[in-house]
Amino acid sequence: MKKVLVTGSSGFIGSALAKSLLALGFEVIGIDSNNNYYSRELKELRIKNFIIDNGGEFLELDFSDRRALDLLFSKHDFDVVFHMGAQAGVRLKKENYWKYVLSNLTGFSNVIEFAVQSKVPRFLFASSSSVYGNLAKIPYVESEKNLNPSSFYGGTKLANEILTPLQVRDTATKARALRFFTVYGPWGRPDMAYFRIINSLLNSSQFSLNGTGELKRDFTFIDDCIQSIILLSEELSQRPPGFFDKVNVGGGNPSSMKELISVSEELTGSSLNLKISEPNLNDAALTQADFTYLMSLINFKPKTSLAEGVKKTIDWANYYKRYLDSWVKSSN
C-alpha cells in the first residue's frame, strides 16, 4: 500500500483528494493548520466525513513549522506528496499579505525541502491560473512567457513554480505544478462567488457582485479536478528523477458571472438580491485553459457542464442550508 501526504487536507481540494485516494487504497496522512481564514466548523466536517470516516489519519500541523515537518517526514516514508495547502484567495488586504508569505512561500519551501531530503519520488502542488495575469494570450498555455499576475497570491504561486525546478534538480524527486482554474462544487470554499451566490439564493440574503458580471472564469468541477490530479500523479511516476513541468487543470470553457447567476437562479427557482460593487483589481478579466498538454498526458480534461456542477452543489447546499450563511460570514 502506497503512503501519501496531503497538505491542506481540511481544505476544499485537499479533503476531496484525500477521500478519493483512500477509496483507491492509499494510506493517507493529511495535515492542515485549520487557520481562521474561514469557518473551522466546515473544515472539521470535511476532516471527519472525508478522512477519518474513510480510514485516513489527520494531524493538525502548520507546514510553516519546520520542526513539526521534520518530525513528520522522519516518521513516514511517503511515496507521493500532494501539496494542496496554501493561503488561498486573491483578496486579502495588503496588511495581511504576510499570510501569503508565511504559507505560500515559507511553508511551500519547507514542504518541498523535506520532500526532497526524504527522497520522496513524486511531489505535486497546487498552483493557479492566477499566474497568468491579464497580459497572457487566451487561452492560457503552459509555455506562456508573459506571466504578470494581477494579485499578490498569483505572484506567490508563480514564485513556487520558479523555485521548484531548482529544488528538484539532480535529486530523486520529480515534481509537477497543477494550475487550477476556479475549482467549485460541494464542500467548497465560502469565500468564492459561486458559494455566496447559492447561499444568497437559498437563505434570501444579499449578494455583492464586483463589477458588471462580464468577468469570465474557466469553472472546473471538483470531481474533474480530483480525477485530473490522480491521473497526473500516475503519469508523473513515469518521468525521470529531477523532472518538472506545469499543467493546466481546466476544461477551456469559460462562463461569465452573469451566466453563473442565471444558472443558479434557474436551478433554485429564486431571484438573486443583487448589489453591484466596484470591480476588484486583483481579478483577471478572463481565464481560459488550453488543455492540449493535459490531454496529451492523461487523455482526460474537465468536462462537467456548469449547469450540472452547480446543480450538484445546490443539492449539497440544501442539506447544509442552515450552516451556509455563517460559513460565508466567517470568510468576510
Whether the predicted pLDDT of 1 surpasses 80: no
Share of residues in the chain with pLDDT > 90 (%): 87
pLDDT in tens, 121-169: 999 999 999 999 988 999 999 999 999 998 999 999 999 999 999 999 9
Cell (9 digits) for 266: 434557474
3-state helix, strand, coil in the chain (%, to 5): 45, 20, 35
Can you give the pLDDT at residue 56? 97
**To which residue does cell 506545469 refer?**
246
Mean pLDDT of all residues in 59-66: 94
Q: Is the peptide bond before 139 cis (omega within 30 degrees of 0)?
A: yes
Q: Is the pLDDT of residue 278 over 80?
A: no
Asked whether 31 and 61 are in contact (CB, 8 A), the reply is yes
- Report the distance separating Cα 198 and Cα 194, nearest Å: 6
Average pLDDT over residues 269-286: 81
Write out pLDDT tens, residues 195-229. Answer: 999 999 999 998 888 878 788 999 999 999 999 99
Give which of 24, 6, 11, 51 is closest to 234, Cα–Cα.
24
Band (pLDDT 50/70/90 cuts) for residue 281 is low
pLDDT at 277 over 80: no
Contact between 260 and 267 under an 8 Å Cβ cutoff? The reply is no
Cell numbers 511517503: residue: 78
pLDDT at 332 exceeding the cut of 80: no
CB 279 within 8 A of CB 90: no
| 8 Å CB contact between 154 and 130 | yes
Strands 216-217 and 255-256: antiparallel
Under the phi-then-psi rule, with left for phi > 0, alpha for psi from -120 to 50, and beta for the rest, what region is 252? left
Active site residues: 153
Give residue 282's pLDDT.
Answer: 65
Determine the Cα–Cα distance for residues 144 and 293; give it in Å rounded to an integer.
13
Of the pLDDT bands very low, low, confident and very high (cuts 50, 70, 90), residue 275 is: confident
Cα four-point dihedral sign 99, 100, 106, 111: positive
| Mean pLDDT for the stretch of residues 74-93 | 93
Summarised one tens digit per residue, pLDDT across range 26-59 is 999 999 998 888 999 999 999 999 999 999 999 9
- Report pLDDT digits (tens) over 166-194: 999 999 999 999 999 999 999 999 999 99
Of 272, 278, 250, nearest to 259 by C-alpha is: 272
Over 80: is that where the pLDDT of 280 sits? no
